[in-house]
Amino acid sequence: MTQAGAPGGQPPVRSALDASTLPAQIHEALEEAIIHGDLPPGSRLRPDDIAALHGVSRIPVREALSSLDEAGWVEIRPRYGVYVKERNYTELQELFEARAALEAEIAKLAALRHTAADIVALKQTVDASKRAAEDNDVDALSRASVEFNAGIRAAARNSVLTALSLGLEKRARFYFFPVSGQLGSDWVGKQASLVGTVEAGDADQAASLARRYIVETGEAVSRLLGPDSFSS
């Protein structure tokens, strides 16, 4: 089992931290490292090494680890330490099931409420996805996917749905980031189709496409990760 944070294996998350928000910033840095696989499932997080890495005391680190535990990113095992949670097949299924319903409603509202500027921004993001896929640039492709989802949410103009979507998307990235390079060309085509439907103002079709897009992505992620990637 990887022991991230141990000497010679410290988590690759380093940033200039504001003392007033240390726990939140450490939480965010560790969360991103978990999502991107820099801290893989099963990794042990050592508070002393994280504190030393950021030049802080153990107090904000303990607070950050506690909030990560509450958010479901890590597991605190009394007397054994703190470990990054394993990927769970049931969670993956439930996560993409929930996202399918939510993103369908967001796409529907985007078709009804978008502006010309929203469409221009979405098309630019699709173009960025195409370039990233052609260059096999996994990081750029992942960023473009996040930007595309943000663009659809912006066009929907519903702050509550946006907050819910952001939380689920972040959790989904924990699952699809390792295989995002294999999903790239598929993403581009689906994004382009959804933008066309949103631009046409076809709310029902936009909802249907978005729902199918999320369901198919979840199925592909499960297949590409394989059974050995899940704890259950």
Structure tokens at 223: 């297949």
Domain parsing of the chain, residue ranges: 19-84, 89-226
- CA 65, 164, 216 angle in degrees (round to 5)? 100
CA–CA distance, 123 with 116 (Å, rounded to integer): 11
Determine the pLDDT at residue 103: 98
Determine the pLDDT at residue 183: 81
User: What confidence tier does 12 reach under pLDDT thresholds 50, 70, 90?
Assistant: very low
User: What confidence tier does 49 reach under pLDDT thresholds 50, 70, 90?
Assistant: very high
Name the phi and psi angles at 87, rounded to 5. -70, 140
Q: What is the pTM of this model?
A: 0.84
For all residues of the chain together, what is the average pLDDT? 90
* Two domains, one topology: 19-84 and 89-226: no
Stretch 78-101: mean pLDDT: 95
Q: How far is CA 114 from CA 78, 118, 164, 202, 211, in A?
A: 50, 6, 20, 11, 19
Contact 174, 88 (CB under 8 A): no
Determine the pLDDT at residue 9: 46
Out of 40-54, 71-85, 126-140, least confident range: 126-140
Determine the pLDDT at residue 18: 61
CATH no. of 19-84 = 1.10.10.10
Structure tokens at 69: 């535990």
Residue 13 pLDDT greater than 70, yes or no: no
Residue 202 pLDDT greater than 80, yes or no: yes
CA–CA distance, 89 with 66 (Å, rounded to integer): 24
**What kind of fold does domain 89-226 have according to CATH?**
Four Helix Bundle (Hemerythrin (Met), subunit A) (1.20.120)
